[in-house]
């Protein structure tokens, strides 16, 4: 029997970033990596992240959140998923303000007319905090490139940790970049000991960025909230934009405000419910792992 069999789920999305919410606060158990991978199959319940809610560890918080990627690995942050669980909790309790906790810290969320505003915390720019494999002089632009050595397609990214490691490559035309080709190589580059989220970003104006993201453990995604935050703060550090910008992703727009004073990143954007149900053995077991006669096609 699969560990998660018969557990209720809620399917949601934030700008098309596909999220499965598992509320495990009443009966906590780990999410096995192999069950996450099986669940993410196109014929099962495809998702970018599972947001698994566990009993709170800190007074005043609603839940401790574990974030599981489609490949079964764990993530420290997911902005779109954070907005989804805030909307889920608001629907469950009627509250319009709540605080969650993850391995990356506290996640303060407020339901607003345009969706949810989530405090994504403070960005970290030190090479050891991202982390990188070794020291670099300036994390606003590191020595890294992709494509032909004589004519790189991507080069000199900014790097930052916003709960996850991020590398942002500045380009003239984001639509011309085949991130599906270069993303896997860069995600697994030796300079990133914990892998990294890879973004191609184009600055349209001092308050508008266009972004395409290859997400660590997921692949190309319609939206990545932490990547939007990473691009916004990196652009501001370079003087390319101000501290308040709209970030346009394939799934839609996020408003990112890198707050003066305490350097917290506020992300505002939509989230929505899709459907709910219960997990079945067929959804949680890949065909090669099933006992004979179970779930046969």
List the CATH number of the domain containing 195.
3.10.310.10
Residues 149, 259 within the same domain: yes
Q: Are residues 104 and 165 in the same domain?
A: no
Residue 136 inside a domain? The answer is no
> Are 47 and 70 found together in one domain?
yes
Task: Output the pLDDT for position 114.
Answer: 86
Answer whether residue 66 shows pLDDT above 70: yes
Q: Is the pLDDT of residue 135 over 90?
A: yes
Which residues have a catalytic role annotated? Answer: 78, 224
Same domain, 95 and 39: yes
pLDDT confidence bin for 222, thresholds 50/70/90: very high
Residue 133 forms part of a structural domain: no
Domain that holds residue 157: 145-263
Residue 280 and residue 259 share a domain = no
Together in a domain, 258 and 280? no
Per-residue model confidence as pLDDT tens digits over 81-130 = 999 999 999 999 999 999 999 998 999 999 999 899 999 999 999 999 99
Predicted confidence (pLDDT) at residue 297 exceeds the cutoff of 80: no
Residue-wise pLDDT for 159-184, tens only, equals: 999 999 999 999 999 999 999 999 99
Same domain, 55 and 116: yes
**What confidence tier does 295 reach under pLDDT thresholds 50, 70, 90?**
very low
**Residue 288: predicted pLDDT:** 59
The domain tally of the chain equals 2
Is residue 287 very low, low, confident or very high in pLDDT (cuts 50, 70, 90)?
Answer: confident
Beta-strand runs (E) in the chain: 8-14, 17-23, 49-54, 64-69, 74-75, 97-102, 105-112, 115-119, 145-146, 154-155, 158-161, 165-170, 197-205, 208-215, 219-221, 244-249, 252-258, 265-269, 272-278
- Is residue 73 in a domain? yes
């Amino acid at each position: 029997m699969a560990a998660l069999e018969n557990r209720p789920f809620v399917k949601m999305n934030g700008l098309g970033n596909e999220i499965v919410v598992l509320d495990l606060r009443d009966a906590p158990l780990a999410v096995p990596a192999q069950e996450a991978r099986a669940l993410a199959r196109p014929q099962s319940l495809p998702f970018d992240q599972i947001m698994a809610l566990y009993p709170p560890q800190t007074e005043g918080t609603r839940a401790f959140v574990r974030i599981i990627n489609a490949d079964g690995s764990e993530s420290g942050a997911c902005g779109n998923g954070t907005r989804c669980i805030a909307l889920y909790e608001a629907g469950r309790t009627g509250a319009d303000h709540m605080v969650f906790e993850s391995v990356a810290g506290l996640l303060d969320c407020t339901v607003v007319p345009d969706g949810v505003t989530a405090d994504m915390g403070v960005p970290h720019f030190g090479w050891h905090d991202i982390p990188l494999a070794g020291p670099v002089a300036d994390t606003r632009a590191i020595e890294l490139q992709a494509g032909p050595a004589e004519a790189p397609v991507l080069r000199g990214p900014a790097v930052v940790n916003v709960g996850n490691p991020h590398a942002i490559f500045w380009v003239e035309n984001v639509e011309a970049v085949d991130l599906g080709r270069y993303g896997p190589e860069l995600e697994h580059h030796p300079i990133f000991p914990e892998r990294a989220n890879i973004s191609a970003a184009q600055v349209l104006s001092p308050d508008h960025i266009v972004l395409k993201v290859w997400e660590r453990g997921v692949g190309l995604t319609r939206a990545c909230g932490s990547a939007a935050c990473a691009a916004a703060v990196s652009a501001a550090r370079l003087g390319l934009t101000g501290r308040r910008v709209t970030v346009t992703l394939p799934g839609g727009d996020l408003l990112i405000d890198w707050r003066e004073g305490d350097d917290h990143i506020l992300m505002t954007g939509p989230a929505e419910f899709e459907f709910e149900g219960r997990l079945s053995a067929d959804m949680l077991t890949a065909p090669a792992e099933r006992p004979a006669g179970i779930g046969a096609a």
